[in-house]
C-alpha cells in the first residue's frame, strides 16, 4: 500500500474501482432486454448497495450504476439511476436519427456510433429515461 493510499484510507476516502464490479452483455439486436436488466439491477442496488455491504452496512441505498463500454476504440459511459435518485438531471436522453446527422441530446457522437444508433433504432426521434 502506498503512502497516499494509507492516508486516504485513514481519512475514510475510497476509490469506487476498488469495489466489486458487475458486467452485463448488451445485445444490440434486443436492446430493450438489456435495458430491463439494467433497471432490475438498479432496483436491487437501491435496496442494498454492494459498496455499503463491503463496509458491513445492510439496507443502505445505492445510487446507480455507471456502465462503460468500448465501441470502435472509443470509451463510452452512461449512468442508470433508480427512482430514489432520479431527479431528471442527466437521466433523460433524446436520440434523433432523422436527417444526415444523428444527435444524442443535441450533440453529435462519433460516426461509428451514429451508424450503430441508426442501424439499431431506424429513423426517428426517441426519448429514453434512465
DSSP state of 24: -
C-alpha triplet 70, 90, 65: angle, nearest 5° = 55
Asked whether residue 92 carries a pLDDT value surpassing 70, the answer given is no
Calpha distance 28→57 (Å, rounded): 36
Question: What pLDDT digit, counting tens, does each position of 33-57 carry?
Answer: 888 888 888 888 888 888 888 888 8
130-to-42, 77, 80, 92 alpha-carbon distances in Å: 10, 13, 5, 6
Asked whether residue 24 carries a pLDDT value surpassing 80, the answer given is yes
Mean pLDDT on 13-17: 79
Question: What pLDDT digit, counting tens, does each position of 67-89 carry?
Answer: 888 878 888 888 888 777 665 55
Model confidence pTM above 0.75 = no
- pLDDT value for 89: 52
Nearby residues of 104 by Cβ (< 8 Å), 6 or more positions away: 93, 94, 95, 96, 117
HSE-up (13 A, CA, CB side) for residue 89 = 3
Amino acid at each position: 500500500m502506498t503512502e497516499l493510499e494509507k492516508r486516504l484510507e485513514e481519512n475514510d476516502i475510497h476509490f469506487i474501482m476498488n469495489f466489486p464490479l458487475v458486467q452485463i452483455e448488451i445485445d444490440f439486436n434486443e436492446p430493450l432486454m438489456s435495458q430491463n436488466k439494467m433497471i432490475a439491477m438498479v432496483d436491487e442496488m437501491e435496496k442494498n448497495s454492494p459498496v455499503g455491504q463491503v463496509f458491513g452496512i445492510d439496507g443502505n441505498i445505492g445510487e446507480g450504476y455507471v456502465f462503460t463500454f468500448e465501441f470502435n476504440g472509443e470509451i463510452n459511459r452512461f449512468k442508470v439511476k433508480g427512482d430514489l435518485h432520479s431527479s431528471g438531471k442527466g437521466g433523460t436522453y433524446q436520440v434523433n436519427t432523422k436527417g444526415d446527422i444523428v444527435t444524442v441530446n443535441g450533440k453529435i457522437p462519433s460516426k461509428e456510433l451514429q451508424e450503430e444508433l441508426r442501424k439499431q433504432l431506424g429513423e426517428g426521434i426517441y426519448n429514453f429515461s434512465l
